[in-house]
Amino acid sequence: MSFSSRSLCRLGVVATVLLAQPQTSQAESWTDLSGTRTIEARLVGLWNQSVVLQMGDGRRVTVNLEDLQAGSRIQAQNMAREQKLARAERVKELQGQAADAAAPAPTPLPTPPPAPDYQPPTPNTPCVAQLQWMIDQSNAGHLRAQFDALPPSYRKDIGDLVQGAVAKVDPAAWQSITGSLHQIGDLVVTRQRWLFSHPRLEALNPTTREKIEEFLLTLGGLLREGLDPQALDPAQLQSVPFENWLAQRSDAMAPYLAEMTRIAGGSSLPSFQMVSEKDGVTTVKVTVDSTEITQTYTQVDGFWVQSELATNWPTMIADAKKSLEDTPNGSILSDGMAAMIPAMIGPMISPLASAKDKKEFQAAMEPIFAQVQPAVSSLTMLAGISPQRGRGGSQMDNEYGSMDDEYEREMQAQMESEEMEMGMEMDMDMEMEMEMRGDESQN
């Protein structure tokens, strides 16, 4: 085999490099074409016919692939393929993380813990036991407990009234009202990252912000699940017995109602004590905090109802049915008052729903802050939040207040920073190639 002077020179350089470098841990063995010299070095990359190796002292050298023994050439090619696949996976992972961070909400959407299983009532139980059952099931988030606590005949009367009332409702107005409220809940849940990263909310003290997020997410989920347009379609309401429809809605809403009960915390629950029982009538003392009242219950078909309600029930149902008979079909909610709700909500939520990114969404939130500021105190009270000092020492009522020039600049700078971060490209191959060229120029 003959060699040109250029080939011999290249082999000499390779041999010199291989001899001169100390072995390094966590590296690979590389042997020159003659098979007489082997070193330990880490592969940086392979571009075209150039192998970039990092020596034990940190220096990088570039070796022509043809100047390595066959085993080393195969090793370099295999490792280069693995590096390329690993880089592609890493780029994909980073791009996914960036996309997830920019997404309006996590995937999957977080939900509250499941509510405790519903325990149906048992007929002919003592009056106090039934009352306590109703409180326990209601606190567990089960809306239907109030309905199931009624005698079967009462449930049938209510179901008939609901079916009759649905026929009298203006379907377009009904869907417009419930759809607007549902959309509010949907926006809170599906745009939660954009919503809660708004500088006005981030300026709140951490405890206040956490409680507001918790409350609004639960309320938003309740509206989103409870007012599902398909479930509230008048045709759907009329196609199934009301008791079955209510059970479905109750199950869907139970986790959110149970969470709302937990968030409310400290609210006092009534306690019950039987005072007397005679001839199917029970007198019960109800205590809430330090307030005590006495109520009388009558057993009807195995279930206890307040005696006054039991006495008036037939008349109440008859009057309600007569009123429905006198009501024209499609007339309920057809007046101008019913249209006020969508008219008020629509202009606020339409820009939010059409926002393409966080910047547009948060810009659309500004007019809403100005309109809802008077309700902030009520909201924080419902969320169980006590007044605390926030940014700039302002009271809770003022934490959503007007921002000074410094805060406006802070908000603008934050938005510009986020745009720059999202505009950065990840191109590892380009970076490595530039490093390789730099090493070659040094050599």
Q: What is the pLDDT along the chain (443 residues), one digit of tens a residue?
A: 333 444 444 444 444 444 444 443 468 999 999 888 988 999 999 988 999 999 999 999 999 999 999 999 999 999 999 999 999 998 988 887 777 777 899 989 999 999 999 999 999 999 999 999 999 999 999 999 999 999 999 999 999 999 999 999 999 999 999 999 999 999 999 999 999 999 999 999 999 999 999 999 999 999 999 999 999 999 988 899 999 999 999 999 999 999 999 998 756 889 999 999 998 899 999 999 889 999 999 999 999 999 999 999 999 999 999 999 999 998 999 877 777 888 888 899 999 999 999 999 999 999 888 877 666 556 556 555 544 444 433 433 444 444 444 444 544 555 455 444 444 444 444 444 444 444 444 44
Q: What CA dihedral angle connects 207, 210, 211 and 214, to 10 degrees? A: -170
pLDDT at 265 (0 to 100): 79
Q: How far apart are CA 185 and CA 245, in angstroms?
A: 21
pLDDT at residue 336, rounded to an integer: 74
In the three-class reduction of DSSP (H, G, I as helix; E, B as strand; rest coil), residue 367 is classed as: helix
CB 275 within 8 A of CB 285: yes
**Residue 127 tokens, joined:** 């009056």
pLDDT recorded at residue 379: 57
Cα–Cα distance, 256 to 253 (Å, whole number): 6
pTM score: 0.68
Q: Which residues contact 184 (CB under 8 A, 6 or more apart)?
A: 220, 223, 345, 349
Judged by phi (left if over 0) then psi (alpha if -120 to 50, else beta), residue 293 lies in: beta
> How confident is the model at residue 339, as a pLDDT?
78
Type of residue found at 102: A
Closest by Cα among 68, 356, 96, 422 to 76: 68
Nearest to 179 by CA among 354, 350, 378, 334: 350
Read off the tokens for 247: 């059970």
Q: Cis peptide leading into 108, omega within 30 of 0?
A: yes
CB atoms within 10 A of CB 252: 16
CATH 2.30.30.700 domain span(s) along the chain: 28-102
Check if the beta carbon of residue 191 is closer than 8 Å to that of residue 105. yes
pLDDT for the residue numbered 342: 85
pLDDT at site 135: 94
Class of residue 169 by CB neighbours under 10 A (exposed 0-12, middle 13-18, buried 19+) = buried
**What is the pLDDT, as a whole number, of residue 380?**
58
> Whose CA is closest to 342, among 152, 147, 145, 176?
176
pLDDT given at position 427:
45
Alpha carbon distance 131, 418 (integer Å): 55
In contact, 78 and 86? CB cutoff 8 Å: no
Burial class (CB in 10 A: 0-12, 13-18, 19+), 297: buried
CA-to-CA distance for 353 and 155, rounded, in angstroms? 39
The encoded tokens of residue 246 equal 């209510």
Question: In 176-257, which ranges are E strands?
Answer: none
Query: 156 vs 125, 242, 243, 248, 324, CA distance in Å?
Result: 21, 9, 8, 17, 16
Q: State the architecture of 28-102 in CATH terms.
A: Roll (2.30)
